[in-house]
Amino acid sequence: MRVALFITCFNDTLFPRTGQAVVRLLERLGRSFDFTVEFPLGQTCCGQMHFNTGYRRECLPLVRRFAEVFEPYDAVVAPSASCVGMVRDFHGEVSGALRERASGVADRTYELTEFLVDVLGVTDVGAYFPHRVTYHPTCHSLRVLRLGDRPLRLLRAVRGLELVDLPGAEECCGFGGTFALKNAEVSVAMAGDKVANVHRTGAEVLCAADNSCLAHIGGVLSRLNSGVRTVHLAEILASTEEEPA
């Protein structure tokens, strides 16, 4: 099986460590499950920003590019519930004549925890992360992809990790892409509520399946000098005693 990493432009630009962690994790698992991991250099944006702001015609070349680049692979994996949600739910809608081709690739595109739990059938990925951790289910992971307890099942199997429930976990953090730009005061207030709940857990680390939300919440945590760090779920799952996150 050939597995392609779809890094997403947000991760590629601001959080390359997350993509590197996905490769380490998948290469480790690939030795047991007999698959290879590749990084197609021709990949670009999924088009979510265009689509969400009403530029659907301008989104079409990006949908076409995504289908062309990832069509040869058996599975496409991304460390982003947000971008996978765009591919799975909306590429077919905006693609017109490309609908069938785009839908075929979208059906093989998985958020990381979906690929691990649903495709590989694994929850213990051999990770080691000796910290007190709480998990924020981002809106796209919760309400679009409906990841459910997949991330929690993976986290519970990590050696040394103490998982604590996040009060108000299902409440939005206030990021929402352009929502944070257009409604800054409301967005920051919502992040403040999320941070207050994170502090109630006593966690050292806040993790999620989307770096976009972690960046937003992390900004408030940083300004408060809270000492809580944000880490993408993929980096925890890739962490080992020999190569800690």
Tell me phi and psi for residue 2, to 5 degrees: -105, 120
Does residue 85 sit in the same domain as residue 161? no
143 and 232 within one domain? yes
Is residue 125 scored above 80 in pLDDT?
yes
Of 119, 152, 175, which residue sits at a domain end? 119
Looking at the structure, do residues 114 and 137 belong to the same domain, yes or no?
Answer: no
In a domain, 169, yes or no: yes
In the chain, pLDDT over 90 holds for what percent of residues?
85
Q: pLDDT band at residue 95, thresholds of 50, 70 and 90?
A: low
Shared-domain flag, residues 192 and 104 = no
Judged against a pLDDT cut of 80, whether residue 13 lies above it is answered with yes
Residues 60 and 109 in one domain: yes
Of 88, 119, 150, the one marking the end of a domain is 119
In this model, does residue 75 exceed pLDDT 90?
yes
Range of the domain at 172: 132-238
Question: Does 75 share its domain with 183?
Answer: no
- Averaged pLDDT for residues 192-196: 96
Domain harbouring 213, CATH code:
3.40.50
CA distance 210 to 232: 7
67 pLDDT above the threshold of 80: yes
Work out the average pLDDT over 42-63. 90
pTM for the predicted model, two decimal places: 0.93
Q: What is the pLDDT of residues 159-187, one digit of tens each?
A: 999 999 999 999 999 998 788 888 999 99
Comparing CA positions, the residue from 96, 112, 123 lying closest to residue 19 is: 112
Across 88-116, average pLDDT: 89
At residue 72, the pLDDT reads: 96
Predicted confidence at residue 114, as pLDDT, reads 97
